[in-house]
Amino acid sequence: MRRSFSAMLERHIQSVITDDAGSETPAEGRNRLKGHFPAGSTRRMTTLGLMVGNALAELNPGPEDAIVYASGYAETCALESFLDSFPAPSPTLFQTSIHPSAVQQLMIGRQAAVREFLPLSGGSLFAFHALRASLLSPAPRVLLCGGEERGTWLLGHGLASGRTYAFAASLQTEKAPGSLGKVRLTRAEGMGELGLDAWFDLLRAREPFAGMIAPGWHMEIEWH
C-alpha cells in the first residue's frame, strides 16, 4: 500500500528559544538556570539537560507533540565523568551519558509522556537531517530542540563540541497568531552544508537564510 502523504516541506516557526552559554562555566550555568526547575530536581541534571530542558520547557511540550532532538555529542561531561569512573563505573553517569538524556531529564522530571521522540546526532548536514525529520513528522506541532555542551579532555581529541548552547523551536503546520516566520526545504541543484552550530546561530540571530544546506536541498528561513 502506498500512502498518500503531503510532501510540503514547510512549517511555520511559532516560537524560538535560544541560550548561548558563551564563556559561562558549568557551575555558573547551573546557578543561572536552577531556579527554572523544581527545587531539588537539578542536582543530577547536566549542563545540557538544564539548558535544553529550560528551552524546551518554555514551549510546554504536550503528549501529541513530536520532539526532534539534535545534538552531535550530547552529554559530553557526563560521558567524560563516566569514563573516568572506571574501574568502578557509575550507574547514574551511565544513564545520564546516553545520547538523548538531556530531553529525558526534563520530561521524566515532569512525568510527561510523548509518543514521538526522535533523537539525532549529525555532522556537516545536521541541520538538513534534523529539519527533514521535523518537516516529515505528521504531528501538527514539532518541537525541534537541541544543543551541545563544551567538552574538556574529549574536546582535546576533537570528540566534543567547543561550545555550549541550546535551542528549542516550535514548528507548526498551521500559522497561529504571533508566528515568527517560516522554514522551507526544497529540492534544488547544487551542494551545501549546514551544521548544528551554524543552525543555532541562525536561530539566535533570527537571520533570514536562503541557500543550499545539503546536496540537492535548499533551505529558506523567513522571519516576519
| Interface contacts to other proteins, rule CB under 8 A | 1-3, 5-7, 72-74, 79, 82-84, 86-91, 94-95, 98-101, 104, 107-108, 110-125, 129, 132-133, 136-139, 153-154, 157-160, 187, 193, 214-217
| Residue placing its CB nearer to other proteins in the complex, 160 or 203 | 160
| Residue placing its CB nearer to other proteins in the complex, 43 or 157 | 157
What would the DSSP string read from start to end of 166-209? Answer: EEEEEEESS--TT--EEEEEEE-SS-----HHHHHHHHHHT--E
| Residue placing its CB nearer to other proteins in the complex, 51 or 139 | 139
| Residue placing its CB nearer to other proteins in the complex, 34 or 99 | 99
Report, in Å, the least distance between residue 25 CB and other proteins.
23
Report, in Å, the least distance between residue 125 CB and other proteins.
6
DSSP-derived pairing of the beta strands 181-187 and 66-70 = unpaired
Query: Diameter of the chain by CA atoms?
Result: 55
Report, in Å, the least distance between residue 101 CB and other proteins.
8
| Residue placing its CB nearer to other proteins in the complex, 117 or 209 | 117
- The amino acid present at 62, given as its one-letter code, is G
Write out the H or E segment, with its range, that includes residue 107.
Answer: helix 101-110
| Residue placing its CB nearer to other proteins in the complex, 119 or 147 | 119
Residues 6+ apart with CB under 8 A from 39: none
CB 153 within 8 A of CB 13: no
Report, in Å, the least distance between residue 19 CB and other proteins.
22
Report, in Å, the least distance between residue 28 CB and other proteins.
26
| Phi, psi angles (nearest 5°) of residue 138 | -80, -5
Q: Look-up: residue for cell 528551552?
A: 55
Could you count the other beta carbons within 10 Å of the beta carbon of residue 181? 17
Report, in Å, the least distance between residue 177 CB and other proteins.
26
Beta partners for residue 104, in sequence order: none
Which residue in 131, 108, 128 sits closest to 56, CA to CA? 108
